[in-house]
Amino acid sequence: MNNIALITGVTGQDGSYLAEFLLAQGYEVHGLIRRHSTQNTERIDHILEGPYNGTKFFLHYADTTDSSGLIRLVSEIKPTEVYNLAAQSHVGISFEVPEYTAEATGVSTLKLLEAVRMFGGSCRYYQASTSELFGGIPETAPQSEKTPFYPKSPYGAAKLYSYWITVNYRESYNMFACNGILFNHESPRRGENFVTRKITLAIANILAGKQEKLSLGNMNAKRDWGFAGDYVKGMWLMLQQDKPGDYVLATNETHTVREFVEAAFGQCGIEIKWEGEGVNEKGIDAKTGRVLVDVNPQFYRPAEVEFLWGDCTKAETELGWKRDVDFKGLVAMMMDSDLKEIAGMTCEEYKAKN
């Protein structure tokens, strides 16, 4: 049987890595894209410019809030696997567009599940669930598939609906439907308004003399950050099992935003010392005394998820899932990529010059 995948969110960070991964496994890959007034295929242009385009890789206009398009795509493409990655995925922005987030990140999942149930035959289904489901649980232990949920944002609440409707379709209709409960995963392709990419991009601009300082919100928040390329393999593994299930993917490590800042500057040979507290906190270049980081309350959220730390034992033991990139490797990869793009040199080259 030919393996045919349909990916929603193919223009996003994860969609682009997943498309590459599945094409390398010999899949025919179909991506759902929505219409924009400007081109936004930056993350998949290298695939569109390569030999797979039009032979194994196909794009289709649709929108996951529009069930007629989803029905059309599932019936025409007849995918063997559907990966539902599309979402309004920014937690902070979900407070600004809560109703749209409920539609795009919540109810759209039901629309796609219905399309697969009615027209997908034995097609397997992956749902992009999230560690934001754990949200406000107390800072006690790493969070696993057994940890109760407590979403703290319109995004988290919409994803909670998506999680349970996926479980419900599995149990009600015997569908092969899985939730990947993924902790934060990043890469050089991460959207520029997520904190890791905002940090590495700002540092590159500061070092190139194009930006004065980096302004952040809550630097005490702790996240379990992995590499997106490792996580898309886990998504695929979930759909290759004998039985469907829900799995946490994480690194089993947690770091504050402040530690990410230190590590990213450190990668370029700059030591940051911290002075002040709360909105008055400043990150200062230990050598020159220049203020490189400050706090802007504009980036605080109405409610915050303070602590995420994942336990991915189930994925490691049942799926045999492994990661290639650790926290240090992730910071180095992202910092190198942005510095190369903006200043034309790697971190090592920058350090050698300064």
Contact set with ligand NAP (CB under 6 A): 8-9, 11-15, 32, 34, 36, 40, 63-65, 85-89, 104, 128, 130, 182, 184-185, 191
Under the criterion CB under 6 A, does residue 92 sit at the interface with ligand F7E? Answer: yes
> From start to end of the chain, where are the E strands?
4-8, 28-33, 57-61, 81-84, 124-130, 177-182, 185-186, 214-216, 222-223, 226-227, 246-249, 255-256, 272-275, 282-285, 291-295
Q: What is the largest CA-CA distance in the chain?
A: 64
171 is catalytic: no
Binding segment for ligand F7E (CB under 6 A), chosen from 36-44, 49-57, 126-134, 262-270, is: 126-134
Among 16, 162, 200, 218, binds ligand F7E (CB under 6 A): 218
Of the two residues 23 and 157, which places its CB atom closer to ligand F7E in the complex?
157
Choose, from 155, 169, 247, 350, the residue flagged as catalytic: 155
Q: What angle do CA 177, 319, 9 make, to 5 degrees?
A: 50
Tokens read off for 43 = 């993350």
- Per the annotation, the verdict on 346 as an active-site residue is no
- Supply the minimum distance, in Å, between the C-beta of residue 200 and ligand F7E: 12
Judge contact between 19 and 29, C-beta under 8 A: yes
Q: Is 223 in the site for ligand F7E (CB under 6 A)?
A: yes
Q: Which residues contact 293 (CB under 8 A, 6 or more apart)?
A: 213, 214, 215, 216, 261, 272, 282, 283
Residue 111 CB: number of other CB atoms within 10 A? 19
Q: Closest separation between CB of residue 143 and ligand NAP, Å?
A: 13
- Of 119, 161, 274, 299, the residue at the interface with ligand F7E (CB under 6 A) is 299
Q: What is the DSSP letter of 22?
A: H
At 28, list the tokens: 């025919």
Residue 217 binding partner per list ligand F7E, ligand NAP, none, with a CB distance cut-off of 5 to 8 Å that depends on partner kind: ligand F7E
> What is the token pair recorded at 9?
């969110």
Minimum separation from the CB atom of position 77 to ligand F7E (A): 26
Binding test (CB under 6 A) with ligand F7E, winner from 89, 127, 179, 251: 89
Q: Does 195 bind ligand F7E (CB under 6 A)?
A: yes
Q: Could you say which residues in the range 254-293 bind ligand F7E, by CB under 6 A?
A: 257
Considering the candidates 28, 132, 186, 262, report the single residue annotated as catalytic.
132
**Cβ neighbourhood burial of 97 (10 Å; 0-12, 13-18, 19+):** middle
Shortest spacing between CB 209 and ligand NAP, in angstroms:
29
Q: Which stretch binds ligand F7E (CB under 6 A): 47-55, 119-127, 193-201, 279-287?
A: 193-201
Decide which of ligand NAP, ligand F7E, none touches 92; Cβ closer than 5 to 8 Å per partner kind.
ligand F7E
Of 89-97, 168-176, 229-237, 329-337, the segment contacting ligand F7E by CB under 6 A is: 89-97
Catalytic residue (one of 105, 130, 147, 251): 130
Binding to ligand F7E in span 1-40, by CB under 6 A: none
Q: How many angstroms separate the CA atoms of 208 and 227, rounded?
A: 26
Select 102 or 204, whichever has its Cβ closest to ligand NAP.
Answer: 102
> From the list ligand NAP, ligand F7E, none, which binds 216 (C-beta under 5 to 8 Å, kind-based)?
ligand F7E
Catalytic residue check, 49: no
CB 236 within 8 Å of CB 21: yes
- Residues 130-149 close enough to bind ligand F7E by CB under 6 A: 130-132
Q: Is residue 280 packed enough to be buried (19+ CB in 10 Å), middle (13-18) or exposed (0-12)? A: exposed
CA separation (Å) from 295 to 203, 213, 248, 275? 15, 10, 32, 12
CA 354 to chain centre: 34
Q: Which residues are catalytic?
A: 130, 132, 155
> What are the residues binding ligand F7E (CB under 6 A)?
89, 91-92, 130-132, 183-184, 193-195, 198, 216-218, 221, 223, 257, 299, 301, 304-305
